[in-house]
Structure 1
Amino acid sequence: MFINLKKRSKAGVMLYALLMVAVFSLLLQFYLHCQLAESRIVLANREGTEAYLMAELTKDTVRKEIEDASKFSDSHVEVKQTEKEEKKEEVTETKQGTEEVASPSKTDSREKLEETKEEETPKTTNAQGNLQFSKGSSHYHSEKGWLLVTVTTTAGHDFSYSFPLPSEK
């Protein structure tokens, strides 16, 4: 009987140790799963942040290009205005061969018509292109006053962003 009790106590201790190992392994498995999920979240946040920074750099680059293009077109408009002023002052020949200074009323009506035609056509900048970065690439295009940027990371994930374009006055 005493021997039977010893065997039972050894079996009980072994059963208790097995139960503790199972509980410990479950806790360890839960902890490792949480750590893995946390590291995946951190990597996803880092990749998203890098994609946003690439989109911001793309936006800044495109805005600089648009500003440079508008400065060029502004200087082009200034040249046209000076040409119009010069035309106002030009001497025109009449049918009899005499020279007279063009009257401002005749040229003004034509210039106003030309200016309204220029104002009716909206100044739209269709920016479109790709930029390459060490962590991925970005594709951008403008649509209805918005710059749409799609960033593809080296891991193959796509992120889309939209930024307002500066309004032209």
Structure 2
Amino acid sequence: MGEDTLEFEAAKKAFVEEREKFNAEKKGLSWRVADAEEKLAKEKQLSWEKTKISDEAEQERVTSHKREHEYIQRIAKLEMFAEEKVVEVKASEILVEEVTTDCRWLLACEVPLISERIAGSEELAKYMYELGEAAYDHGRKDDYAEGRAAAENKEALKNFDL
């Protein structure tokens, strides 16, 4: 029995050692599993963040493309507007040249002609005579009436020359 007890004790000791080894291995495996699960969770998180960043980048690309397209359209409209304004400016310059030429012609030819006609107008002469004579008349009705009658009859006025 002594031998059986020794064998039992040795088997028990071997069993305890085996169980400790098993528990240590089990603990190591659980740590590795926990570490692997943690790495997997981190990898999933990283993958999700990459996807999120990729989606955000794609949205930014699309937005940027839309803005670029809008800017190109605006630039095209502005170029057309600028071309229209250039045409309007050229037309205005032509009009200014024509008006300037017409004004010069009027000043050179028509204004002296019109002023000559006004100055030579019998009606103006009559009114000028009336004004002039009225100032010198001092209430003498005959002189005023005589000047008016002479102007209406187109006679030479002895006291007034225009």
Answer yes or no: same fold by TM over 0.5.
no
- Structure with greater proportional strand content: 1
Q: TM-score under structure 2 normalisation?
A: 0.44
Q: Which has the larger radius of gyration?
A: 2
- Structure with greater proportional helix content: 2
